[in-house]
Copies of this chain bind each other. A is one copy, B any other.
Amino acid sequence: MQLAKHIQKFTGLDDNVVAAICNKFTQITARKKEILLEEGQRCCHYYYVEKGCLRLYFTDDKGVEQTIQFALESWWMTDLNAFNKNSNSSYSIQSLETSTIMGIENKTLQSLMEKHPALEKYFRRIYERAYSAALFRMKVLRLPKDISYNMFEKQYPEFVQRIPQKILASFLGFTPEYLSELRRKKAKHK
Protein backbone atom coordinates (compact mmCIF):
# COMPACT_ATOMS: atom_id res chain seq x y z
CA MET A 1 0.00 0.00 0.00
CA GLN A 2 1.27 3.49 -0.81
CA LEU A 3 2.61 5.42 2.17
CA ALA A 4 0.06 8.28 1.96
CA LYS A 5 -2.91 5.89 2.00
CA HIS A 6 -1.35 3.89 4.83
CA ILE A 7 -0.83 6.97 7.04
CA GLN A 8 -4.34 8.19 6.25
CA LYS A 9 -5.87 4.84 7.15
CA PHE A 10 -4.43 4.90 10.67
CA THR A 11 -4.57 8.63 11.46
CA GLY A 12 -7.48 10.11 9.49
CA LEU A 13 -5.31 13.15 8.68
CA ASP A 14 -6.33 15.47 5.79
CA ASP A 15 -5.03 14.80 2.27
CA ASN A 16 -2.89 17.91 2.15
CA VAL A 17 -1.31 17.21 5.57
CA VAL A 18 -0.49 13.65 4.54
CA ALA A 19 0.96 14.94 1.25
CA ALA A 20 3.18 17.38 3.17
CA ILE A 21 4.37 14.52 5.40
CA CYS A 22 5.13 12.21 2.45
CA ASN A 23 6.97 15.07 0.78
CA LYS A 24 9.68 14.76 3.46
CA PHE A 25 10.47 11.21 2.32
CA THR A 26 12.90 10.30 -0.45
CA GLN A 27 11.67 7.80 -3.03
CA ILE A 28 14.24 5.12 -3.85
CA THR A 29 14.14 2.49 -6.55
CA ALA A 30 16.25 -0.49 -5.54
CA ARG A 31 17.39 -3.17 -7.96
CA LYS A 32 16.97 -6.86 -7.18
CA LYS A 33 19.78 -7.91 -4.76
CA GLU A 34 20.82 -4.29 -4.15
CA ILE A 35 22.26 -3.61 -0.68
CA LEU A 36 20.61 -0.57 0.93
CA LEU A 37 22.52 -0.74 4.21
CA GLU A 38 25.72 -2.60 4.96
CA GLU A 39 26.56 -4.06 8.39
CA GLY A 40 28.99 -1.68 10.14
CA GLN A 41 27.88 1.40 8.15
CA ARG A 42 26.07 4.35 9.70
CA CYS A 43 22.31 3.60 9.77
CA CYS A 44 20.72 6.79 8.41
CA HIS A 45 17.33 5.71 7.03
CA TYR A 46 14.08 4.12 7.97
CA TYR A 47 12.54 2.41 4.93
CA TYR A 48 8.88 1.95 4.06
CA VAL A 49 8.20 -0.59 1.30
CA GLU A 50 5.72 0.69 -1.33
CA LYS A 51 6.44 -2.19 -3.70
CA GLY A 52 8.85 -5.11 -3.46
CA CYS A 53 10.59 -6.85 -0.60
CA LEU A 54 13.51 -6.19 1.76
CA ARG A 55 15.38 -8.44 4.16
CA LEU A 56 17.35 -7.69 7.35
CA TYR A 57 20.33 -9.98 8.02
CA PHE A 58 23.77 -10.26 9.57
CA THR A 59 26.78 -12.40 8.78
CA ASP A 60 27.68 -14.77 11.60
CA ASP A 61 31.15 -15.80 12.82
CA LYS A 62 31.22 -18.62 10.24
CA GLY A 63 30.48 -16.23 7.37
CA VAL A 64 26.87 -17.44 7.02
CA GLU A 65 24.15 -14.84 6.35
CA GLN A 66 21.43 -15.06 9.01
CA THR A 67 18.13 -13.49 7.91
CA ILE A 68 15.99 -12.34 10.81
CA GLN A 69 13.27 -10.24 9.17
CA PHE A 70 11.46 -9.49 5.90
CA ALA A 71 9.46 -6.44 4.83
CA LEU A 72 6.86 -6.67 2.04
CA GLU A 73 4.48 -3.88 0.95
CA SER A 74 3.37 -1.56 3.82
CA TRP A 75 6.05 -2.81 6.25
CA TRP A 76 8.88 -0.72 7.66
CA MET A 77 12.51 -1.74 8.07
CA THR A 78 15.71 -0.46 9.65
CA ASP A 79 18.21 -1.39 12.37
CA LEU A 80 16.00 0.35 14.92
CA ASN A 81 18.63 0.60 17.63
CA ALA A 82 21.29 2.04 15.30
CA PHE A 83 18.74 4.35 13.60
CA ASN A 84 17.68 5.85 16.93
CA LYS A 85 21.27 6.28 18.15
CA ASN A 86 22.58 7.39 14.75
CA SER A 87 25.22 4.67 15.12
CA ASN A 88 26.68 1.91 12.96
CA SER A 89 24.35 -0.88 11.95
CA SER A 90 24.52 -4.46 13.27
CA TYR A 91 22.63 -5.63 10.17
CA SER A 92 22.55 -5.33 6.41
CA ILE A 93 19.40 -4.59 4.42
CA GLN A 94 18.99 -6.03 0.93
CA SER A 95 16.26 -5.62 -1.67
CA LEU A 96 15.12 -9.07 -2.82
CA GLU A 97 13.08 -7.76 -5.77
CA THR A 98 12.99 -4.54 -7.78
CA SER A 99 11.53 -2.38 -5.02
CA THR A 100 10.06 1.09 -4.58
CA ILE A 101 10.93 2.38 -1.15
CA MET A 102 10.31 5.57 0.80
CA GLY A 103 13.26 6.52 3.03
CA ILE A 104 13.45 9.02 5.86
CA GLU A 105 16.22 10.24 8.19
CA ASN A 106 15.78 10.20 11.96
CA LYS A 107 15.94 13.97 12.47
CA THR A 108 13.23 14.53 9.84
CA LEU A 109 11.06 11.78 11.32
CA GLN A 110 11.35 13.21 14.85
CA SER A 111 10.40 16.71 13.66
CA LEU A 112 7.43 15.29 11.69
CA MET A 113 6.19 13.54 14.85
CA GLU A 114 6.50 16.75 16.85
CA LYS A 115 4.65 18.74 14.21
CA HIS A 116 1.95 16.09 13.63
CA PRO A 117 1.20 14.24 16.89
CA ALA A 118 -1.27 12.05 14.96
CA LEU A 119 1.82 10.29 13.61
CA GLU A 120 2.44 8.96 17.13
CA LYS A 121 -0.72 6.90 16.67
CA TYR A 122 0.48 5.73 13.28
CA PHE A 123 3.81 4.55 14.64
CA ARG A 124 2.21 3.12 17.76
CA ARG A 125 0.20 0.86 15.41
CA ILE A 126 3.26 0.12 13.24
CA TYR A 127 5.41 -0.93 16.21
CA GLU A 128 2.56 -2.82 17.80
CA ARG A 129 2.18 -4.86 14.59
CA ALA A 130 5.96 -5.36 14.30
CA TYR A 131 6.27 -6.45 17.93
CA SER A 132 3.32 -8.83 17.63
CA ALA A 133 4.90 -10.37 14.51
CA ALA A 134 8.22 -10.74 16.38
CA LEU A 135 6.49 -12.62 19.22
CA PHE A 136 4.81 -14.93 16.70
CA ARG A 137 8.15 -15.58 15.04
CA MET A 138 9.87 -16.36 18.32
CA LYS A 139 7.20 -18.92 19.14
CA VAL A 140 7.18 -20.49 15.68
CA LEU A 141 10.95 -20.89 15.58
CA ARG A 142 10.80 -22.92 18.83
CA LEU A 143 8.48 -25.55 17.31
CA PRO A 144 9.41 -28.69 15.34
CA LYS A 145 10.49 -27.77 11.80
CA ASP A 146 7.48 -29.09 9.87
CA ILE A 147 5.01 -27.44 12.28
CA SER A 148 6.90 -24.12 12.18
CA TYR A 149 6.86 -24.13 8.36
CA ASN A 150 3.12 -24.81 8.26
CA MET A 151 2.36 -22.06 10.79
CA PHE A 152 4.54 -19.58 8.95
CA GLU A 153 2.95 -20.46 5.59
CA LYS A 154 -0.55 -20.09 7.04
CA GLN A 155 0.23 -16.69 8.61
CA TYR A 156 2.29 -15.25 5.73
CA PRO A 157 1.40 -17.13 2.51
CA GLU A 158 2.84 -14.35 0.34
CA PHE A 159 6.28 -14.46 1.98
CA VAL A 160 6.58 -18.17 1.41
CA GLN A 161 5.86 -17.70 -2.30
CA ARG A 162 8.01 -14.64 -2.92
CA ILE A 163 11.14 -15.23 -0.80
CA PRO A 164 13.96 -17.15 -2.53
CA GLN A 165 14.18 -20.70 -1.13
CA LYS A 166 17.73 -20.36 0.21
CA ILE A 167 16.88 -17.19 2.17
CA LEU A 168 13.59 -18.56 3.48
CA ALA A 169 15.45 -21.67 4.69
CA SER A 170 18.02 -19.47 6.51
CA PHE A 171 15.22 -17.50 8.17
CA LEU A 172 13.51 -20.70 9.37
CA GLY A 173 16.80 -22.22 10.53
CA PHE A 174 16.54 -25.03 7.93
CA THR A 175 19.03 -26.22 5.33
CA PRO A 176 17.82 -25.41 1.77
CA GLU A 177 17.69 -29.19 1.17
CA TYR A 178 15.36 -29.74 4.12
CA LEU A 179 13.02 -26.96 2.95
CA SER A 180 13.00 -28.33 -0.57
CA GLU A 181 12.18 -31.84 0.71
CA LEU A 182 9.42 -30.48 2.97
CA ARG A 183 7.84 -28.60 0.06
CA ARG A 184 8.05 -31.67 -2.18
CA LYS A 185 6.25 -33.77 0.45
CA LYS A 186 3.56 -31.11 0.97
CA ALA A 187 2.95 -30.82 -2.81
CA LYS A 188 2.56 -34.60 -3.02
CA HIS A 189 -0.15 -34.64 -0.33
CA LYS A 190 -2.20 -31.84 -1.94
Binds B, one of A93-101, A135-143, A158-166, A179-187: A135-143
Is A20 positioned at the interface, with any CB of B under 8 Å from its CB? no
Can you tell how many copies of this chain the complex includes? 2
Interface majority SS (helix, strand, loop, mixed), chain A: helix
Output the least CB separation between A106 and chain B (Å). Answer: 12
A149 to B188, CA, bound (A): 42
Q: State in angstroms the CA–CA spacing of A118 and B117 once bound together.
A: 8
Q: Which residues of B contact A127 (CB under 8 A)?
A: 124, 127-128, 130-131
Contact B123 A134 (CB under 8 A): no
Interface size class of A (residues with CB under 8 A): 20 to 34
**Distance of A138 Cα from B79 Cα, bound (Å):** 13
A58 sits at the interface (CB 8 A): yes
Partner of A68, one of B68, B81, B118, B142: B142
Assuming A58-B142, A134-B135, what are 12 further A-B pairs, CB within 8 angstroms? A58-B139, A68-B135, A68-B142, A69-B138, A80-B128, A84-B128, A90-B139, A117-B120, A120-B121, A121-B124, A127-B127, A131-B131
Interface residues of A (CB under 8 A from B): 56, 58, 60-61, 66, 68-69, 79-81, 84, 90-91, 117-118, 120-121, 123-124, 127-128, 130-132, 134-139, 142-144, 147
